[in-house]
Amino acid sequence: MINYNPKDWFVFIFRFTKSDTFLRLLPLLIGVGVYAGLVAYVELNYLAFSQNEHIRNVGLMHSVLGFVLSMLLVFRTNTAYDRWWEGRKIWGSLTNCSRNLALKLQACVPNPEDRLFFRQMISSYAFALKSHLRGNEDYQELDPVLDLSRKAHVPNQIAAAIFGRVNHLHQMGSLSAGQLLVLNDEIKVLTEVTGASERIKNTPIPFTYSVFIKKFIFFYVMTLPFGWSFSMGFYVIPVVMLILYAMASLELIAEEIENPFGTDDNDLPIDQICHNIQKHVGELLP
């Protein structure tokens, strides 16, 4: 994620970063600009005296459809943002339950060996989940001391180890029934965080919507020059480019935001969240 000050308007308007949709769309914009110029050239020079009046009014269609398309793009923006923000909430829950677990274990578990075990395991859970979500199979940030199989589902193994140790302490009589329940409230959140992150990662927006929005933008922009080149002449070239820029940008940003656990510029700062969890668990459970 890029940290930025949202109030620097001038920087925003004139700087084009690598992830800026303007640069990524540039080849497409130039292509469509050339296409619009050709359409305008043919219409203005060869059709000028014939069906002039009729084809000019095709633009009526674009105002009706522009409306549907705009609302569809905002629907797309909304769903993508909701996933991104839900992803952030999920990792916020992971922070909360890691902290709560650490501060409760600190109070309930006096034995230094157990405390070391929990301290390592809780921090490792966040790192393991991060590597799991990114398909980073070597889990290099995990302490090799931990006895974990890289083949099975790693976060599940850690959650099982944490609950197993807590349950063992309960059966030994070191933890009362009340303390077991208090700790279980937090441990079950670990698995829920994993399930919810996997859900967001593995379920993009339904295939037909994704196809339909792209086809719709394409047909819309490709038919624009026919209706507008009589009205606008060659001004239709920048106009069609600007409209394509606006609409395709919305779709592009939505695609990038939709899966927020990667390493793109707009993805969530989950590396930083992992290190925060490690730091705070270390403070709370020394």
Restricting to residues 53-92, name those near a copy of itself by CB under 8 A: 54-55, 57-75, 77-79, 81, 84-85, 88-89, 92
Burial class (CB in 10 A: 0-12, 13-18, 19+), 93: middle
Q: Candidates 117-125, 129-137, 138-146, 168-176: pick the segment binding a copy of itself (CB under 8 A).
A: 168-176
Least distance in angstroms from the C-beta of 212 to a copy of itself: 6
Q: At what angle do helices 154-172 and 177-202 cross, to 10 degrees?
A: 170
Work out whether 42 is an interface residue with a copy of itself (CB under 8 A). no
Work out whether 268 is an interface residue with a copy of itself (CB under 8 A). yes
Among 237, 243, 244, 274, binds a copy of itself (CB under 8 A): 243
Among 36, 108, 128, 133, binds a copy of itself (CB under 8 A): 108
Q: Determine contact, residues 191/156, Cβ cutoff 8 Å.
A: yes
Among 196, 262, 271, 275, binds a copy of itself (CB under 8 A): 196
CA dihedral 63, 64, 68, 70 (to 10 degrees): 10
User: Which CB, 97 or 142, lies closer to a copy of itself?
Assistant: 97
Long-range contacts of 230-236 (CB under 8 A, 24+ apart): 230/43, 230/44, 230/52, 230/55, 230/56, 231/56, 231/59, 232/40, 233/40, 233/44, 234/37, 234/40, 236/36, 236/39, 236/40
Phi-psi region of 229 (alpha: psi -120 to 50; beta: other; left: phi over 0): alpha
Work out whether 192 is an interface residue with a copy of itself (CB under 8 A). yes
User: Which CB, 104 or 130, lies closer to a copy of itself?
Assistant: 104
Q: Candidates 111-119, 120-128, 133-141, 184-192: pick the segment binding a copy of itself (CB under 8 A).
A: 184-192
Tokens of 207: 């295939």
Residues 110-129 that bind a copy of itself (CB under 8 A): none
Q: How open is the CA angle 167-149-264, to the nearest 5 degrees?
A: 105
How far apart, in whole angstroms, are the C-alpha atoms of residue 1 and residue 256?
A: 12
Question: How many residues would you count in the chain?
Answer: 286
User: Which CB, 110 or 144, lies closer to a copy of itself?
Assistant: 110
Least distance in angstroms from the C-beta of 42 to a copy of itself: 16
Q: Candidates 30-38, 128-136, 140-148, 261-269: pick the segment binding a copy of itself (CB under 8 A).
A: 261-269
Least distance in angstroms from the C-beta of 76 to a copy of itself: 10
Work out whether 184 is an interface residue with a copy of itself (CB under 8 A). yes
How far apart, in whole angstroms, are the C-alpha atoms of residue 184 and residue 172?
A: 17
Work out whether 22 is an interface residue with a copy of itself (CB under 8 A). yes
Q: Determine contact, residues 162/100, Cβ cutoff 8 Å.
A: no
Work out whether 154 is an interface residue with a copy of itself (CB under 8 A). no
Work out whether 274 is an interface residue with a copy of itself (CB under 8 A). no
